[in-house]
Structure 1
Amino acid sequence: MLQTKIAANAEALRRWLSKAEVVLGNHSDRLNAINIFPVADGDTGTNLYLTIRAAAQSASENPTSDVGELLAGAGQAAMEEARGNSGTLLSVFLAALAEPLRGTTRLTGPLLAAALQRAEIRCWSALSEPVEGTMLSVIAAVSRAASAAHGAQHDDSNHGLAATLEAIVEEALAAVVRTEAQLGALESAHIVDAGAVGFLLIMDTLRASALGEGLQPELLDGLHGFNVQDPHLHLDHIDEGVEVMCTINLSPLDAATLRLKLDELGDSVIMSAVTEVEGGYRWRVHAHVPDGDAALELIRELGEPMNVTMTELAGPPEHTHGG
């Protein structure tokens, strides 16, 4: 590997997000096809693509050389446009990744390890009931791999960064393979988790963008359910209910109250702070509930939601309420 090719500055991260947008767009159909958990709504690939597209657009328009500032803006843009469980979790990941990187113009192995640790903590805490065998498992795996590589290299060199990036992709792939045995629904269908595969692709685009290399086309070879001739397995599963998403300004106490009430009403609850506002934070809220109108009524008891979408988990395209 030629170290002169290695670049991990803000421009490299812009390339990463742009390349991830293209890659997720190219693979969205197969990701949708194997999307059966937590609900078989067949949109994980689309949700990841639309979410990363918002992040990539933000990064392309942000002239900063500060990699933390760049990713913070990208994460916030992604969170405002996040779609579904997978997109919401990806936006939380990007925003958290930025926190230890503020004030630096170059990504290093130790910094990447610290950023991935922060992202792991934030992503697992954003969900009311985190589950193994999902994108969360891959996030945890890459965090561990980066920390181990950092411990072995313990330097800020290009070589140390390359070793860290290669280690996280290798461990991400292993974690994706493990998802099939970690969730009963996946094991029964003989497939790996769709969100986990999408996150693996995102990690490989980071590696490729920083190291000046191409993507690894063989990365997905042999993953169960990922052959192009395989059927859209999600069509064999029927899920009822509504996915509700919105943005709302709440104090930390009111946010905790809302999370509790949504947990009682439904599941797949994800809440993450987007940005600080007067009296609290702007929160991105996601939940699967039996009755979308009942969930909105509950939310409005605590504040006025914005950017509201309600999508049938198995049915017609989403409809949007308000701005």
Structure 2
Amino acid sequence: MLLKEEAQVPQSPDDLDAVAVRTWCSLALEALGAEREEIDAINVYPVADGDTGTNLFLTMESAAQALEAVFAAHATVVGPPPSVPLLSDAVRAMAHGALIGARGNSGTILSQLLRGMSEELAQDLAHAESADGADLRRALRRAASSAYRAVAHPVEGTVLTVATAAADAAAGTTAAEAARAAYDGARRALAETTGQLAALGRAGVVDAGGRGLVAVLGALVEALTGEAVASRPRVPHGLLVDDCSTDHADEGGPAFEVIYLLEADDASVDRLRARLDSLGDSLVVVGGDGLWNVHVHVDDAGAAVEAGVEAGRPYRIRITHFGADRVAPPRERVQRAVVAVVPGEGLRELCAAAGATTVLARPGEPPASGELVDAIRRAHAREVVLLPNDADLRHPAAAAAQQVRTEGVRVALIPTRAAVQGIAALAVHEPERRFDEDVVAMTSAAGATRYAELAVAERQSWTMAGVCQAGDVLGLIDGDVAVIGTDVAATARTVLDRMLSAGGELVTLVLGEGVPDGLAEALESHVRKRHLAVDTVIYAGGRQASMLLIGIE
């Protein structure tokens, strides 16, 4: 097939280009955020666990983050005019972000729908700037067919049915016309799902995943036309997920949901599909080119993970026990709680022992705002102090705080930029104090703590301290590279001396996994000899992004 060239095919303002994809992704995230609770409330199939809306939101949030990273990279390119990605680059980034961040059955299928679209647009329009109505229709058709192939046992009356109806209805010269027709077709199909699945009919609801897809397609229409779609389907008055769960509970089903990313070749994944299909149900395997997202419901979670190990390298493994939240007895809200993001298991245990609800930030996998919202709710308190402990989490943390405030919870966000600042804040936390006084004291403690970290350079690059080479040890003070060295201990000593030259009373060291033996003792001895009257405390951080975290109070 010939690729369209810009000179041969003039671009319509209603066609889909990279900027429109970016707008679409942002609007879809906003729509799913607004409708998340309603979608959760009608989640009765395949398991009535009330998380479809949340999973779709988290999946789209990951897609948006990946897309923004591509735009940020292009913005640094020097040259006329302002550089933006090609359409194919934008849709590939969106699909890849959804793949690595996919949550639950619904999120996994959404990621495959986006991947199908990206494959079609990247194949036919690899060097084009935009896609028209015919292009979008082909992309939607490929999205639907690839999602069907990814599901081991497709069922009608689900998001798959809605996706197919959208693709069949899409028609128009421009992408905007095709998107509008697809959205209308999806809405009609969604309304019919109640009569297609017994579980939906008993509950009197439409399919939750299909409802989420309608929201995503509505965002596409708005991105291309600038006009919000008219009205969205509403949840029947008074319906709660608990009202729907009884029927499904009688049907039985696997006890665990298992999800993981998998690096494996196609042949190994084919064998994995057969193995997991024999172990459980709701099997969805999406992805390609060596990277896959695996989702299955099983009774033997260990066997599902072991099957992944036999196929390749599984990671980001998530295992959820169905019904754990539904069967838990209601508990009375506490007055105040602290929610802290922590970079490793060691600090997670430390903060939990101090009474904090923790969110684990795995290396390369910062928590999304939806995870922070869930943690705040899990704390079950009237007042919550949120410690993001990472400068890059300020926006997700602010969004989470704002969302939970609408639910009547009083949330104070302390802008901690490092885990050691969070430790300092947690150390002065006093639940018996007035909320405002406690927040002021914790904020002051965090602000009085300077922070540093040691990391290894992955590539040659320019820094504030000069040029570093791959493998160099970098000492970052307050987020900026201040020291470049070749030896971990020597670099750490230099960083400590620079920070303590401005004074300090307490040094906090958080050791990452794999630091040299004896490093903690050597640094403690160095501080004791060179800086009198300065105490040192040492914590084992476990597996974390930085080999060493340093705090100076």
Structure 2 counterpart of 1:46, which letter?
T
Correspondences of 1:180-259 after superposition (within 5 Å): 180-216=194-230, 218-221=231-234, 226-227=235-236, 229-232=238-241, 233-236=243-246, 237-238=248-249, 240-259=254-273
Alignment counterpart, residue 267 of structure 1, candidates 268, 271, 281 = 281
- Whether 1:127 and 2:151 are equivalent positions in the alignment is yes
- Whether 1:287 and 2:296 are equivalent positions in the alignment is yes
Structure 1 counterpart of 2:260, which letter?
C
Match for residue 96 of structure 1?
116
| Cα distance, 1:314 vs structure 2 | 1.6
CA contact (8 A) 2:203 2:244 kept: no
- Whether 1:118 and 2:136 are equivalent positions in the alignment is no
Q: TM-score, normalised by structure 2?
A: 0.52
| Cα distance, 1:253 vs structure 2 | 1.6
Structure with greater strand share of residues: 2
What are structure 1's unaligned runs of at least 5 residues?
none
Q: What is the alpha-carbon distance in structure 1 between the residues aligned to residue 155 and residue 200 of structure 2?
A: 13
Q: Deviations over 1:87-129 (max 9, x none)?
A: 0011111111112222221121011011111111110000110
Q: What is the alpha-carbon distance in structure 1 between the residues aligned to residue 99 and residue 177 of structure 2?
A: 30
Q: What is the alpha-carbon distance in structure 1 between the residues aligned to residue 314 and residue 17 of structure 2?
A: 37
| Cα distance, 1:240 vs structure 2 | 4.7
Q: TM-score, normalised by structure 1?
A: 0.87
Q: Report the more deviating stretch, 228-237 or 101-110.
A: 228-237
Q: What is the alpha-carbon distance in structure 1 between the residues aligned to residue 137 and residue 12 of structure 2?
A: 22
Q: Deviations over 1:23-82 (max 9, x none)?
A: 101111111111010011110000000000111111122124311211111111111110
Percentage of identical aligned residues: 34
Match for residue 376 of structure 2?
none
Match for residue 161 of structure 1?
175
SS at match of 2:320: strand
Q: What is the alpha-carbon distance in structure 2 between the residues aligned to residue 234 and residue 290 of structure 1?
A: 22
Match for residue 77 of structure 1?
97
Match for residue 56 of structure 1?
64
Alignment counterpart, residue 316 of structure 2, candidates 284, 297, 307 = 307
CA contact (8 A) 1:7 1:211 kept: no
Higher relative contact order (CA 8 A, sep 6+): 1
| Cα distance, 1:227 vs structure 2 | 3.6
- Whether 1:136 and 2:160 are equivalent positions in the alignment is yes
- Whether 1:297 and 2:306 are equivalent positions in the alignment is yes
- Aligned CA distance change for structure 1 residues 201 and 293 (closer, same or farther; 3 Å): same
Match for residue 18 of structure 2?
10
Structure 1 counterpart of 2:61, which letter?
R
| Cα distance, 1:228 vs structure 2 | 5.3
Q: Deviations over 1:161-208 (max 9, x none)?
A: 332122111111100011101101111111111111110010011001
Structure 1 counterpart of 2:35, which letter?
H
Q: What is the alpha-carbon distance in structure 1 between the residues aligned to residue 283 and residue 233 of structure 2?
A: 30
CA contact (8 A) 1:42 1:234 kept: no
SS at match of 2:286: strand
Task: Give the root-mean-square deviation of aligned CA atoms.
Answer: 2.2
Q: What is the alpha-carbon distance in structure 1 between the residues aligned to residue 308 and residue 12 of structure 2?
A: 53
Structure 1 counterpart of 2:117, which letter?
L
SS at match of 1:230: coil
Structure 1 counterpart of 2:45, which letter?
F
Q: What is the alpha-carbon distance in structure 1 between the residues aligned to residue 86 and residue 229 of structure 2?
A: 25
Q: What is the alpha-carbon distance in structure 1 between the residues aligned to residue 17 and residue 254 of structure 2?
A: 45
Match for residue 133 of structure 2?
109
Structure 2 counterpart of 1:273, which letter?
G
What are structure 2's unaligned runs of at least 5 residues?
1-10, 72-83, 327-358, 364-553
Structure 2 counterpart of 1:282, which letter?
L
